[in-house]
Amino acid sequence: MIARFLTLMQALGRGYRCETRVLAHLDCFLAGCGPQGADLTAETFDSWSQSLSHLRSGVRRSRMRIVRKLCLSRRRSAPSCFVPDPARFPPPHQPVRPYWFTEAEIACLIAAADALEPAPGSPLHPAVFRVGIVLLYTTGLRRGELLNCRMGDLDPGERTPPVRDSKFHKSRLLPLSASAFGEVERYLRARHAASLPTSADAPLLRHRCRDGSGDTGAGFAQGLRGLLRATDIRKPDGGGVVPQAD
């Protein structure tokens, strides 16, 4: 049943990597339940859900919803099969209210990025964070989308780099303003002076000379947190601004 469900979803273009892991865990759990695990019932589902008690409520809710999708798909051919009641799932996380940066705050962040110290193995440390901040602010890119940009995505004539396979498996073209693309060209000149690779598949944001990989989401977020502390940008209630995951 699980294999048929995953095959169908992947044939429809879904990645379903996380779902595959969750359902494999469910399968192993049911196999360890003995005869009572021969089928997914309200009792075995409750037992499996309790095995996730060490996880955060939002993670548990997400995994339980995956199993519910499996059961809803199964109901098409087995109308009497068990389907979990979502009313019994853990509550969703309270969404984090977004923080809206002012132009003055962005200018402070850019100045703080310019003040970063380059290192022998990381000569583009300031330039990477400067262009990263500009692109995040002017385009609305997610952090992961920015870090997935490649050198071959930049066309000086078009100025519309593609954003491929972003969240929810969607792609789009990203129009850049003349000033934003001017910042990109400034960064590319610094990159050329540092003799970093310029092949089409090379990561756009890369400040290390020896390592061939681009910046990671965690590393870039850590750098942003440092800049936010350096500029003392805070929310109205006095709390610090924390970069969120994609």
Answer for the pair 121, 210: CB distance below 8 angstroms, yes or no: yes
Answer for the pair 241, 228: CB distance below 8 angstroms, yes or no: yes
What DSSP element (H or E) covers 162? strand 162-163
Give 49's contacts (C-beta < 8 A, 6+ positions apart).
60, 64
* Mean pLDDT rounded to a whole number for the chain: 87
162 torsion bin: left (phi>0), alpha (psi -120 to 50), beta (else): beta
Per-residue pLDDT tens digits for 36-65: 667 899 999 999 999 999 998 989 999 999
- For domain 103-231, give the fold: hpI Integrase; Chain A (1.10.443)
Domain ranges of the chain: 2-88, 103-231
pLDDT at 208 over 80: no
pLDDT at 211 over 60: no
pLDDT at 165 over 80: no
Per-residue pLDDT tens digits for 96-146: 788 899 999 999 999 999 999 987 778 888 999 999 999 999 988 888 888
Residue 185 corresponds to which tokens in the numbers above? 């060209």
Answer for the pair 135, 148: CB distance below 8 angstroms, yes or no: no
* Rounded CA separation 198/175 (Å): 22
pTM score > 0.85 for this model?
Answer: no
Number of H helices, E strands in the chain: 9, 2
Q: What is the pLDDT of residue 169?
A: 66
